């Protein structure tokens, strides 16, 4: 027997306490399929298909392969139909799967935001109205306690599905089951999220840990330690023991305004990295290292300067193309910028690219810019 989850013909119809309502948009077909199988897994691992009931558990090992190839196929065909090795004649209420009356699809996000403790059969059955007497009778007969170890999907299948979750949804789904909590903290998943989130952001090096994070208690490689210390401006000896690197890393941990104590307890390295970067992106005071790191585009009376990018050197020297050498400094903890010959300029954050603006909405503005060789 085969199941072909064609979203043009069938749709899952969750009850009011089980899952969020379906959304009206144009999700990819493979995403709809993921949602379908996850929902069936939550519903005691069984599903009904046009009046017949099948047990999906014997075929769950094939799920990872199906998911991995689904996104690459424009249409469904027989070679991607899910082949079931066994059929279990225990019926599930027919509300679980019903012919479509409108073109709607199930979102994997709405499926996995469920509060799993509410999925006990006795609760779910009390809120549903089976569409047939036969389903009503089966509803009472199949009320068995839900296992506490969570849906029995393979880890590879879950990781494939979770890779399409946002950071917020990963944190939420991690509260559903102990197994999901572990999978939702997968290092590769969060590293991918970091890379996607940091695209176009200033001084966020792809594939490397955020420089201002606190990674105490985590396993870091020598290369990761050296990279963090270099971006923090720490001079690294030519030969250094890893224990010395870790000690220097701990001593140079910067203070991130808004960081909570629990952030340093996140067990996933890249998840902790993501959280620290998000909090730090709202910081409104700049450091001397950041002023010296960036190059600065002068915008004078609304017009960008044609004299090239400015460089405020780390030793406090600035060479102006108009006035020659002068001095610069920061005031009030990095919230104001002072340069000889002009009034103090307020420092603010560019929330779009996580860069900086000195003197925003004044006649003299400096906008931070990345320079490839300095990243």
- Does residue 130 sit in the same domain as residue 57? yes
- Left (φ > 0), alpha (ψ -120 to 50) or beta: where does 85 sit? alpha
What pLDDT was estimated at residue 83? 36
Classify residue 130 as exposed, middle or buried by CB count within 10 Å of its CB (0-12, 13-18, 19+): middle
What digits encode the pLDDT tens for the residues 28-42?
A: 445 555 555 555 554
What pLDDT was estimated at residue 236? 82
What pLDDT was estimated at residue 331? 97
What pLDDT was estimated at residue 161? 85
Q: Domain for residue 92, yes or no?
A: yes
Helical axes 63-70 vs 29-42, angle rounded to 10°: 160
What digits encode the pLDDT tens for the residues 133-163?
A: 322 333 343 334 434 444 456 788 888 888 8
- Does residue 177 sit in the same domain as residue 160? yes
Q: Domain for residue 196, yes or no?
A: no
Can you say how many angstroms the Cα of residue 11 is from the centroid of all Cα atoms in its chain? 28
- Does residue 226 sit in the same domain as residue 359? no
* Cβ neighbours of residue 346 closer than 8 Å, sequence gap 6 or more: 335, 336, 337, 358, 359, 360, 362
- Does residue 241 sit in the same domain as residue 336? no
- Does residue 156 sit in the same domain as residue 253? no
Token pair 């009931």 in the structure block, residue: 53
Q: Bridge partners of 368?
A: 296
Q: Domain for residue 194, yes or no?
A: no
At CB < 8 A and 24+ separation, what contacts does 363-368 make?
363/300, 363/301, 364/298, 364/299, 364/300, 365/298, 365/299, 365/300, 366/296, 366/297, 366/298, 366/299, 366/310, 366/337, 367/296, 367/297, 367/299, 368/202, 368/290, 368/294, 368/295, 368/296, 368/297
* Cβ neighbours of residue 247 closer than 8 Å, sequence gap 6 or more: none
Within 10 angstroms of residue 7's Cβ, the number of other Cβ atoms is 22
Q: Domain for residue 73, yes or no?
A: yes
Q: Domain for residue 156, yes or no?
A: yes
What pLDDT was estimated at residue 176? 76
Can you give the pTM of this predicted structure?
0.63
The last residue of one of the domains, among 261, 280, 299, is 280
- Spans in the chain with pLDDT lower than 70: 1-153, 239, 373-375
- Does residue 315 sit in the same domain as residue 348? yes
What pLDDT was estimated at residue 50? 41
Domain holding 335, by residue range, is 288-374
Q: Which of 222, 352, 220, 354 is nearest to 276 (CA)?
A: 354
The last residue of one of the domains, among 184, 217, 240, is 184
What total number of domains does the chain contain? 3
- Does residue 171 sit in the same domain as residue 37? yes
Give backbone dihedrals phi and psi of 346, rounded to 5 degrees, phi first.
-75, 140
């Amino acid at each position: 027997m085969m199941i072909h989850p064609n979203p043009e013909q069938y749709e899952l119809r969750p009850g009011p306490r089980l899952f969020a309502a379906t959304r009206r948009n144009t999700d990819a077909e493979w995403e709809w399929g993921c949602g379908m199988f996850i929902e069936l897994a939550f519903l005691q691992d069984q599903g009904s298909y046009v009046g017949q009931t099948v047990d999906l558990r014997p075929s769950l090992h094939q799920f990872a392969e199906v998911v991995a190839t689904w996104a690459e196929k424009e249409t469904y065909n027989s070679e991607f139909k899910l082949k079931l090795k066994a059929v279990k004649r225990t019926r599930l209420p027919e509300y679980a799967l019903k012919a479509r009356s409108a073109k709607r699809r199930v979102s994997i996000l709405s499926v996995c935001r469920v509060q799993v403790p509410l999925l006990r059969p006795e609760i779910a059955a009390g809120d549903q109205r089976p569409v047939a007497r036969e389903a009503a009778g089966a509803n009472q007969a199949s009320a068995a306690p839900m296992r506490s170890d969570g849906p029995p999907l393979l880890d590879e299948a879950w990781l494939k599905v979770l890779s399409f979750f946002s950071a917020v949804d990963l944190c939420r789904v991690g509260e559903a089951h102990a197994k999901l909590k572990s999978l939702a903290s997968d290092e590769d998943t969060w590293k991918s999220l970091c890379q996607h989130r940091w695209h176009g952001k200033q001084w966020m090096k792809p594939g490397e840990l955020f420089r201002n994070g606190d990674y105490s208690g985590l396993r870091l490689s020598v290369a990761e330690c050296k990279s963090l210390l270099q971006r923090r401006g720490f001079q690294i000896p030519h030969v250094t023991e890893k224990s010395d690197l870790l000690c220097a890393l701990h001593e140079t941990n910067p203070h991130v305004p808004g960081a909570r104590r629990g952030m340093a307890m996140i067990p996933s390295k890249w998840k902790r990295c993501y959280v620290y970067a998000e909090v730090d992106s709202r910081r409104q005071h700049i450091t001397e290292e950041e002023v010296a790191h960036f190059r600065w585009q002068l915008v004078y009376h609304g017009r960008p300067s044609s004299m090239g990018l400015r460089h405020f050197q780390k030793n406090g020297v600035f060479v102006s193309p108009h006035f020659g050498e002068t001095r610069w400094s920061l005031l009030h903890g990095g919230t104001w910028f002072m340069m000889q010959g002009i009034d103090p300029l307020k420092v603010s954050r560019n929330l779009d690219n996580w860069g900086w603006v000195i003197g925003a909405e004044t006649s003299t503005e400096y906008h931070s810019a990345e320079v490839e060789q300095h990243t």
